[in-house]
Structure 1
Amino acid sequence: MKLNIVRDSTGIITAKLIAEKDNPQADVVWGLAATSLLVLDQNGMLEGYSPQGVDRIQPDFKDKNSPTRWVGIDAWETAFIVNKKEMEKRGLPVPQSYADLIKPEYKGLITMPNPASSGTGFLTVSGLVQLEGKDKAWAYMDKLHDNIAMYVHSGSKPAKMAGTGEVPIGISFGYRGIQEKKTGAPVEVVFPKEGSG
């Protein structure tokens, strides 16, 4: 038997699965955001299976149907991955909050994942809406957009770019930033004061 593995960003995998709905190509989906799994479930695309021990998983981290149609494997949170050397070169402090990111001195120094193709990007936008309410969050994101150097396809790429200094500040998920730091990148992982998605 041949195993084919397809890896891509959340939005791309979700779109691919939906496009293949009438002729499914995937047998197993691993590591997709719960928001996408809910969409797949609403479209009748997930088959239930309750393995032994699924009852020990907290209800918030699994489907409530029986048999279970999806189970979470981990949780992610938004963080800023900041290259300290690049910030020192510019004489700028490491941002500590979402409010800091919209200051004019950070213009063109930030990258983040595109929320249309990346689950991490969507998580960031969703988190801001949950923290601030819809109107304030969208007004904030308009200001943040003015400081964004580029939007990227992947949720982990902003952390990698900050690690190399390509872009000094990457909005990413915290775990990826911690991995960059462990490999020796001169980064600080900042969980914003206001909270994280």
Structure 2
Amino acid sequence: MSSHRRGGLFRSLIAGTAIAAVAGIAAAQADSITVYTSYEEDELAAFLERMEEDLPDLEVNVLRLSTGDLHARILAEAGNPQHDVIWGWAVTSMVDPRIQDMLEPYEPANIDRVPERFRDPDGRWFAVTGYMGAFCVNNMVLEDKGLPMPSSWEDLLDPVYEGEIVMPNPASSGTGYLQIASLLQMKGEEEGWEFLRALDKNMAQYIKSGSRPCNVASQGEYAIGASYALRAIKNINEGYPITMVIPSEGAGNELEAHGLMASSDNKDAAKRFLDWTLSDAAVDEYYNWKEIVTVSGGSIPQNFLDAGLPEDIGSVMYDMDFAWSAENRDRILEQWQSEFESE
């Protein structure tokens, strides 16, 4: 477990094995909460730093896991939940009935800033941010190997890309699952699975993280990393020689939601935290980090637009059926693992 002080507030980024001890501390302090999240580490740190400015007396202990790993963790702890709040977690996972049964309805201050379509009708969760799939394509690798610039998922079936593509493992990565689920929804399941089998022939590896495929492509290890738009934007801004490609079929996407655990012993503090997530300060920070923000009150940064993100995000987003993605998740992952992880 690593820990540090910033602004007088103790905060922990908790390893999975250390959560019980930290949760015990949280239970003993009225202004201390434990939060589970799948926000990426860099954006998580920025959000927490901004929060400390507004809520300096609130201690927030954080467990950060990838979407799939967090899903497994919460279900494993269902008989004795160890956290107070779910923060920035995939709606596709949040709408799992087993998860929803653990949540207590709560409408935080400023909930009207979030359109109704991004909220649970019963008030158990609300989604403020999101992410969408994109390819990180290394311009130098393409030039060195004489490869064409892809513009679509269909382009990735070209044999010239054999061994040059990496993408996230959908069993552990929310980005990976949204990519698989969007392809199955776009093409229908029969054609979608045939497409994935054909794509697998060009795949170098499946990586646990949603951001790492972009990172390894950015570093020139592979030509193409199927990742998400925000990671591509950040890497472009850091000077990596990549192009962000939003697939012409439409970008699979996921929303990130917050919710209050019914089992929490620190609900007043947890509600203060959830109220803050819809504050002006929080919304300003979301726009600095996220390609999709559902909350009114901000604008897309110019450097996002310069990296290739369209001003009208909706024009490139595939219209995801999140309920379908949730209902079929276990079945899809079981088939995916049986076909592609056993190799």
TM range (shorter): over 0.9
What is the aligned-residue identity percentage?
A: 43
Amino acid paired to 1:50 = E
Q: Aligned residue for 1:31?
A: 88
Equivalent residues in 2 for 1:77-116 (5 A)?
77-116=132-171
Higher strand share: 2
- Moved segments of 4+, more than 6 Å: none
How far 1:159 moved relative to its partner?
A: 1.0
How far 1:42 moved relative to its partner?
A: 5.1
Q: Where does structure 1 lack aligned partners over 5 or more consecutive residues?
A: none
Equivalent residues in 2 for 1:128-167 (5 A)?
128-167=183-222
Match of 2:175 among 111, 120, 144: 120
Q: Distance in 2 between matches of 1:183 and 1:30?
A: 27
Q: Where does structure 2 lack aligned partners over 5 or more consecutive residues?
A: 1-31, 33-58, 253-343
Q: Deviation per CA, 1:63-89, whole angstroms, max 9, x where unpaired? A: 111xx1111121221111101001111
Q: Distance in 2 between matches of 1:69 and 1:157?
A: 32
Task: Specify the SS of the correspondent of 1:127.
Answer: helix
How far 1:31 moved relative to its partner?
A: 1.3
Q: Deviation per CA, 1:145-183, whole angstroms, max 9, x where unpaired? A: 111111111111111111111222100111111111010
Amino acid paired to 1:99 = E
Q: Aligned residue for 2:124?
A: 69
Q: Distance in 2 between matches of 1:147 and 1:40?
A: 36
User: TM-score, structure 2 length as denominator?
Assistant: 0.55
Conserved 8 A contact 2:114-2:128: no
Go from structure 1 to structure 2 and tell me whether the alpha carbon gap of 1:51 and 1:31 turns closer, same or farther (over 3 Å shift).
Answer: same
Match of 1:172 among 227, 237, 248: 227
User: TM-score, structure 1 length as denominator?
Assistant: 0.94
Q: Aligned residue for 1:44?
A: 101
Task: Specify the SS of the correspondent of 2:167.
Answer: strand
Match of 1:56 among 98, 113, 116: 113
Q: Aligned residue for 1:13?
A: 70
Q: Distance in 2 between matches of 1:124 and 1:94?
A: 20
How far 1:43 moved relative to its partner?
A: 5.0
How far 1:62 moved relative to its partner?
A: 1.2
Using the TM superposition, name which of 130-139 and 47-56 deviates more: 47-56
Q: Distance in 2 between matches of 1:22 and 1:43?
A: 14
How far 1:130 moved relative to its partner?
A: 1.7
Conserved 8 A contact 1:97-1:194: yes
Task: Specify the SS of the correspondent of 2:108.
Answer: coil
Query: How many equivalent residue pairs?
Result: 195
Higher-Rg structure is 2
Conserved 8 A contact 2:75-2:98: no
How far 1:40 moved relative to its partner?
A: 5.6
Q: Distance in 1 between matches of 2:191 and 2:236?
A: 33
Amino acid paired to 1:144 = L
Q: Distance in 2 between matches of 1:136 and 1:85?
A: 33
Conserved 8 A contact 2:75-2:99: no
Task: Specify the SS of the correspondent of 2:243.
Answer: strand
Q: Distance in 1 between matches of 2:97 and 2:200?
A: 30
